[in-house]
Amino acid sequence: MQEISKLVIQSFAKVNLYLSVINKRPDNYHNLNTLFERINLSDKIVLTSRADNLIKVSCNNSLVPSDESNLCSKAARLLQDKTKAKMGLNIKIIKRIPVGAGLGGGSGNAAAVLLGLNKLWKLNLTKAKLAKIASGIGSDVAFFIYEAPFALGTSRGEKIRILNKLNRIKLWHIVVVPKIHVSTPLIYSKFDEFSGLTRPAYDVKLLTSTLVKKTLSLRSGGLLFNSLETVTLKLYPEVKRLKDKLGALGLKNILMSGSGPAVFAVVSSKNKAQLLSNKLKKEEKSWRVFSVSTF
């Protein structure tokens, strides 16, 4: 019998500390300037080789598709095609990251599959080559390939510059996800209507220099920015209520991640994050609340 190879990988989430949508591109995507932060909220991906060349996906969350539209399936098939690999794969996704929340769960899963298969299939591809493949799957996937805590993303978000000067920075957050579905295509389609309200007050360079100095928690807010937040708050009142609730707790650095509905806040310590997280879990039963840090 052929030996079955198996690999278990953690797949992490992200938040966008800065997301400036610059303009719409001819391909109907948007040019972005974003600062990614990887956080320690994670899913588990189990990869098991198959004797045939089929790609099969399963997940413990019914919101995640198990057909070819799944980003993990796309990632495996793309790598299979590009490298002429003859092996097949079973992909088991154990979800903890909320689905469709703006936290990059699906993108991180796809990147984890690419990284895992590079080992499982002994492909020896560089991260630069994997990132190029990743950019054909989704805008955020390339960020996760580099396994870095912070990075700048440009173009659609797939052109990545790792910020090594931030490698020793560790932020603590509470991340809150209301039980609503936010349509990313709708948010982007409405973006141009609110463009006058979505210009950043500060350049991302000021935010990165503040992070280097480890003084972000001392700022009164304003450096964190998301062009899409104004649009989402107008269309989804529950996200506005969530942001107002965090503000009422005395938090200053509060921002929506991606197109939402996840909202996060920068807090001063692990203890503060856990205390606020426990408080919100008791007061708002319908929200999913996480205490997380940079990873």
Q: How many helices (H) and strands (E) does the chain have?
A: 9, 11
Question: Which one of 43, 95, 140, 243 is the catalytic residue?
Answer: 140
The owner of tokens 């070819």 is: 68
Burial 22-56 (b: 16+ CB within 10 A, else e): eeeeeeeebebbbbbbbbebbbbbebbbeeeeebe
Kindly write down the DSSP assignment for every residue of 55-99, as one continuous string: EEEEES-TTS--STTSHHHHHHHHHHHHHT---EEEEEEE--SPT
d(CA 89, CA 154): 32
Q: Which amino acid is at 267?
A: V
Q: CB–CB of 253/15 below 8 Å?
A: no
Look up residue 171 and give its two tokens: 């932020």
Q: Check: CB of residue 273 under 8 Å from CB of residue 267.
A: yes
> Which residue's entry shows tokens 């426990």?
278
- From 14, 74, 95, 127, active-site residue: 14
Instruction: Spell out the residues 6+ positions from residue 57 whose beta carbon is closer than 8 angstroms to its own.
Output: 65, 66, 67, 70, 72, 73, 91, 93
How many angstroms separate the first and last alpha carbons of the chain? 40
Spell out the alpha helix ranges (H) of 135-203.
141-145, 184-191
The yes-or-no answer on residue 27 being catalytic is no
> Does residue 30 contact residue 191 with C-beta atoms inside 8 Å?
yes
> What is the rounded CA–CA span in Å between residue 65 and residue 216?
38
Active site residue 252: no
Catalytic residues, by residue number, are 14, 140
